[in-house]
Structures are given as structure tokens and as C-alpha cells.
Amino acid sequence: MAPVFRPVAEHGLLVEFGDRIDPSTHAAVLALDRALAANPFPGFAEAVPAYVNLLVRFDPMVTDHAAVEAALRALMLSPLPEAAQTAKRVVDVVYDGPDLEEVAGRCGLTPEAVIAAHLAGDYQVALYGFAPGYAYLSGVPQDITLPRKEAAVRGVAAGSVIIAAGQCIVTTLTMPTGWWIIGHSPTRILDPQGARPFLFDVGDRVQFQRVSP
């Protein structure tokens, strides 16, 4: 699918590479993100990658939508930078979530089999979401892939390990969620006062490691 360019307000351009989540589409998003980091156009502010699109923000006092689109098209016609070596992050998990038994029942597995499947997942940081440090991880095994709950639950604690729709998140704030809570993690994902506020970079690999309570 050829990329589609959509203006966003007066200071943004959304570049859409597809309409469904798949590895090749996400790879195209990340490749353009790397190209912009290496060769920013005049007025470039930031790029925000998601699963199938890239939001490019710019200074409207310096450039406009048409010029930004032309710059992006020129970048995509040039050889795009290869992906840098990504880090591997290890995240500890205590599998004591209130939804673990129900996830097992819905998937036709035992709780221990759910845990084993979760530990075996091949996780990659796909994007950051709406909350600080809220990293969406792809790679949840098909055996434990469930849709979101019909209704969200309020007051889910920070550090909860949640899964839904083939994705996994370690929450960083207390908030509502309609995802399935299978455990909690003592690993600190968000450190607002630290030199590195977020544990992950987009593209990092993540390995979950079971620990005792």
C-alpha cells in the first residue's frame, strides 16, 4: 500500500502506511522515523511512531503541509537507514493477576500454561501510548490472545501486567483498563526524575522473567 498523507491541524502531517497491524507495515513506519532523525527537514519538530502510521510535527512558521509532504516523499525515495541494534530489556513479573484464572478458562488452558505462553512471547516495543511510559508491546502468543473486556475496570494499579488483542503493557499509572490483568511487575518502567525517564525505546526487545511474590 502506498503511503497516504493526511494533514493534522496546522502543525502536523500523518503518514499512513497501511490499515492493519503487521510487521512489514510497522517496519516502514520505523524506517521513516529513523530517516527523519538522521535527515530532518527545516522546521521539523518531532515524529511519533505508531503501528501503521507516523505523526510528523513541524513548525508552521517555518514550513507547511505541502513542503513537509514533499520532503518526506524525497526521503522515502532515498535508501532508508538500517535499523540500529536494539536493546533487550528484562522485566520481572509476579503472576498473581485477578484475571489469570479467567484468561486460562477462556483460552482452554491451565493458569500455568498461560504463564508459560506469556513467558515464551517474542516482545517488541511497538509504540508509546496515551500515558507516560505506556509502552505497547507486540508479540503476545496466539494461544493467549483475547479481545478486550466488554467493560473497563477502574483503579488498576501501576505495574500491572495486562494483555489484550495480541499486545501487552506494563502499566505505569493507576488508571482504568479493559485489558486482562495477569500479574504485576516490580520493574520500574517510568522514572520521571531519572536521566532516562522511560525504560524502553521503540524497537527494543523485551523478555519477561518470572519472580516470586
Fold of domain 4-77: Gyrase A; domain 2 (3.30.1360)
Asked if 18 and 25 count as a contact pair (C-beta separation under 8 A), the reply is: yes
Fold of domain 88-210: Cyclophilin (2.40.100)
Where in the sequence of the chain do the CATH 2.40.100.10 domains occur? 88-210
pLDDT at 85: 65
| Residue 94 DSSP class | B
Long-range contacts of 32-39 (CB under 8 A, 24+ apart): 32/72, 32/75, 32/76, 32/80, 33/202, 34/80, 34/81, 34/83, 34/84, 35/75, 35/76, 35/78, 35/80, 35/81, 36/72, 36/75, 38/81, 39/75
- pLDDT tens across 110-167, in order? 999 999 999 999 999 998 888 888 999 999 999 999 999 999 999 999 999 999 999 9
Report the 10 Å Cβ neighbour count for 101.
13
Where in the sequence of the chain do the CATH 3.30.1360.40 domains occur? 4-77
Strands 160-164 and 180-184: antiparallel
- pLDDT tens across 67-122, in order? 999 999 999 988 766 666 678 999 999 999 999 999 999 999 999 999 999 999 99
